[in-house]
Chain A
Amino acid sequence: MMNFIDALMQYEFLQKALLTSMMVGIICGVIGCFIILRGMALMGDAISHAVLPGVALSYMLGINFFVGAVFTGILTAIGIGYISQNSRIKNDVSIGIMFTAAFASGIILITLMKSSTDLYHILFGNVLAVRPTEMWSTLFIGIFVLVSIFIFYKELLVSSFDSTMAAAYGLPTKLIHYFLMALLTLVTVASLQTVGIILVVAMLITPASTAYLLTDRLWVMIYLSAGIGVLSSILGLYFSYTYNLASGATIVLAATVLFILAFLFSPKQGLIWRTIKNAKKREMHSHSKTGLEE
């Protein structure tokens, strides 16, 4: 542990890595709450994969890769919605068809660029090599995402909880859906360096699910989820640096361990307390039964 702190004081690249992954922990944690409450975990996975061709195209055209990523991300989201609304194909199947197609196109585009190391880093992340420009763009995306969610908190709450009422009083629920998809693509791109495309879905849903097991209030869940995301990033980066492991993998596994702890020990939802409570109830009833027999 001391080694890690010493290194952190000493090496600028490690400081940048830590800051970037903490920011990613926050924004993934916040947006992840809405993803899981709207039952869109699979959609989150799909959109994060669909970013790949956009990133590749942006490289080729020499433009900022947020532009390309948002473009292919939203295009895929629209395609998914269009197929499931205009045929008998179910939504999950439509998601499967569209995101694999987008991802496959991305692989071909990147192969055309003849740069397999880039592909590896985009897929799996390499936070220790994060550049200052990437750190800054993560910060700006983070601020944009957090401000958007702060401003539209009420609308996101009601459209996630009761979309029929939201639509009835005039909220543009479809627009809100695609806006959320756009935020999701931004968050995915911001997370590329840290956890990579393949594992970003874990940062979206695991800390949010952990928080979901710990509270009954949405705003508490959002703060908790952000906090858990940050904690996962710090722990993950520590193990990544100390044992020379891929940062994306260690961060995700740290988040998973925190989830398992909540799953077992959450005061209200945890497996352990539930089992104890059920056992107590059963014991009580078995006593009262023998009492009757006497």
Chain B
Amino acid sequence: MTTALSVSKLFVSYNGNEALKDINFTIDEGKLVGIIGPNGAGKSTLLKVLLNLVNKDAGSVEILGKSIKEMKTRVAYVPQRSNIDWDFPITVMDTVLIGTYPKLGIFRRPKKEHKSLAMECLEKVGMTQFHNRQIGELSGGQQQRVFLARALAQKPDLYFLDEPFVGVDVTSEEMIVSILKELRNKGKTVVVVHHDLSKAKDYFNELILINKELIEHGIVEKVFQPEILNKAYTNQFTPIILEDVIL
């Protein structure tokens, strides 16, 4: 099996404070992986390193055996909903169309074929009838589906999603999960920063548990053990609550 993502000896700091320490892991192609950990564990920082948006102090990140710079158009990113200006004058259709920009380059404009691709992607997330709406007029779940459609329009090999289920209704969450699983089944690699431990078991193949350091990485059953989770969450939950979550 090919390695989709490999991170080795990664160190990152902000103003002298270590945010990530000696992180090492590899993810095979065709996996749906959750990055979990307590607040402030460096989950979003890790995602930003994988997208080459944060400078690392040391270590290397390879995507499909190549440097991130070479692969940046093969990766799609779904941002946290709180990072988007929902009053921006843009429609659902035009938002999805942005997904075609990376491959178009600077001088080419989206044409008919790109518009029909965007429409197909909207259909996959069940948002076709909203294509003319301004994005702020949608519910949280619908907004997240539109951004997933944008990622689909990029036709990438890897998907990175940052907290995609925050403020999202149950129907949308189920739809997003089933699309992510379908992508995985087609051999794509999907990495999701996720905070809700209760669902982690059903959603992912593998989990990467971090708290500044890598606590554990492996199949869900291996990571989802009380004593392992305790190592990461010691300051946030009492063990009793953790057991509730696991059971």
Contact = CB atoms under 8 A, between A and B. Distances in A.
A binds B: yes
Interface of A: 37, 151-152, 154-155, 157-158, 160-162, 164-165, 167-170, 212, 215-218, 220-221
A168 B51 contact: yes
A161 B101 contact: no
A221 B90 CA distance: 10
B101 A217 contact: no
Q: Most chain-A CB neighbours within 10 Å: which of B84, B95, B98, B109? A: B98
A158 B89 contact: no
A217 B75 contact: no
B77 interface: yes
Interface of B: 51-53, 69, 72-73, 75, 77, 79, 83-85, 88-91, 94-95, 98, 101-102, 104, 106-107, 109, 134
A169 B72 contact: yes
Contacts, number: 67
A248 B95 CA distance: 38
12 contacts: A37-B88, A154-B104, A154-B109, A157-B98, A158-B98, A161-B85, A162-B84, A164-B77, A165-B77, A165-B98, A215-B89, A218-B88
A177 to B, nearest CB: 15
A216 B89 contact: yes
A168 B89 contact: no
Contact of A216 (B51, B69, B77, B90): B90
A169 B70 CA distance: 10
A157 B90 CA distance: 9
A194 to B, nearest CB: 27
A216 B91 contact: yes
A158 B88 CA distance: 11
Given A161-B85, A221-B89, A170 B72 contact: yes
A164 B89 contact: no
Contacts of B95: 161
Contact of B79 (A160, A165, A212): A165
Nearest to B110: A154
Contacts of A212: 89
A179 to B, nearest CB: 13
A198 to B, nearest CB: 29
A161 B88 contact: yes
Contacts of A160: 88
Contacts of B77: 164-165, 168
A167 B69 CA distance: 11
A160 B88 CA distance: 9
